[in-house]
Structure 1
């Protein structure tokens, strides 16, 4: 792996955004120090403010991570539901030579493709609902060859796909932690101003420590923004949920 490839990995995206902000912060602090514009010496009150910012960041990050973990297996749940329907489809085809499983297979492929289009191209989620509803017509030939419990099982998997797609849409379109951001922003601004305008006896050490603190705070803030919407797929996120399972299942079904 060369250096450019190493740096271009998604995991470095947030840090690369923060570094210019840190440079501006350090230059501003140096300029204030040169002008003797510091307003006071760092004390326990400043430490309490920094501790409060750390606490709020940790609290919001923990809540965001919990939502992110709940989102991680949603693509796999959709694939599992679709593959379960396909298993029943192939089972009936093996038992009944007169049954053609191709139409239902293509319908399932279209269902997965609609999920990919909604996520990657920001198409309306109505496409997923329509694709799931269209399966009903494709299940009519299947129902002639299989027992009622199998049809009920397939309809249960249809409902699961609808439910998960609705949850994905809600996660993508809703900021669940929006009420917490004003307080977080106020505290971050206050902490940044305090770090810029207070001094210690050793300016170099103070600059180094406050630079690291500012970098950490901004990194965690951007990470929270990134994790809160794990279904963006607009090229700016470094923490999008992996859709490879849906893509692989779609291509497999599309090939028949």
Structure 2
């Protein structure tokens, strides 16, 4: 099952392109049959294809830089959550602090809310308000005389979690240069149309190159759109081009098995 899932993730974009390839092949066959191939291959059309490839390269470089940054976020969130868990456990173990015990239970609830938020089952505003409730525990720990270093460290991790949540929210709600998408999509359509009405002999060579160029351009456009939102779990789950939530899933297991003896 794991192997099948990996294969699907690898070829999912190609599968999306297949219906388009069928449409283009059908149009090319009809164009050839009814004598609608009215253009000749020339340098101007080759420049159009080259320009389309250049714009795709520009888009993919910008989207990939954001994607590589996004890959780090789940691990950073996991590290911050784990640090607060360890500190709260240390305080509870050394001081037998009731507030620290309650904070650990609160963290378990927050962890579930965080995972639901990734799937858009929880609103960002609600999650941030829940995160802000940690301040009540920090105030109680201060009243209990817990060392300020612990509280300051936990406050820093809270702030880091807040920044990461807001960063994810911005990434998944913001498209990368929408006007650039528009021009690439328009040029892709024009290139596909040109290939359909251009006459190249022999016909099967023309059909092959039409499908090949159409496949490459459409595949890259679909890939860029997928990469532009690496946190789209509500639509596709944790697969395809989405950033892996494995570090957070592993921490979720730690929380579920964590017991205060």
- Normalising by structure 1, report the TM-score: 0.92
Give me the whole-angstrom Cα distance separating, in 2, the residues matched to 1:181 and 1:98: 55
Aligned position for 1:115 = 114
Unaligned runs of 5+ in 1: none
Local SS of the residue matching 1:101: helix
Give me the whole-angstrom Cα distance separating, in 2, the residues matched to 1:2 and 1:66: 28
Structure 1 residues 224, 139: closer, same or farther in 2, change over 3 A? same
What's the offset of the Cα at 1:23? Answer: 1.4
1:228 aligns with 2:223: no
Give me the whole-angstrom Cα distance separating, in 1, the residues matched to 2:39 and 2:97: 87
2:37·2:199 contact (CA, 8 Å) conserved in 1?
Answer: yes
Q: Encode CA deviations 1:84-123: one digit per residue, 9 max, x unaligned.
A: 1112112223322455633111212222222211111442
Aligned position for 2:130 = 131
Unaligned runs of 5+ in 2: none
Deviates more, 1:60-69 or 1:181-190: 181-190
Aligned position for 1:32 = 31
1:192 aligns with 2:192: yes
1:99·1:142 contact (CA, 8 Å) conserved in 2?
Answer: no
Structure 1 residues 31, 173: closer, same or farther in 2, change over 3 A? same
- Normalising by structure 2, report the TM-score: 0.90
What's the offset of the Cα at 1:127? Answer: 2.5
Aligned position for 2:244 = 242
Aligned position for 2:157 = 157
Aligned position for 1:66 = 65
Give me the whole-angstrom Cα distance separating, in 2, the residues matched to 1:107 and 1:172: 27
1:50 aligns with 2:49: yes
Give me the whole-angstrom Cα distance separating, in 2, the residues matched to 1:7 and 1:213: 26
Give me the whole-angstrom Cα distance separating, in 2, the residues matched to 1:165 and 1:155: 15
Give me the whole-angstrom Cα distance separating, in 1, the residues matched to 2:64 and 2:153: 33
What's the offset of the Cα at 1:202? Answer: 1.6
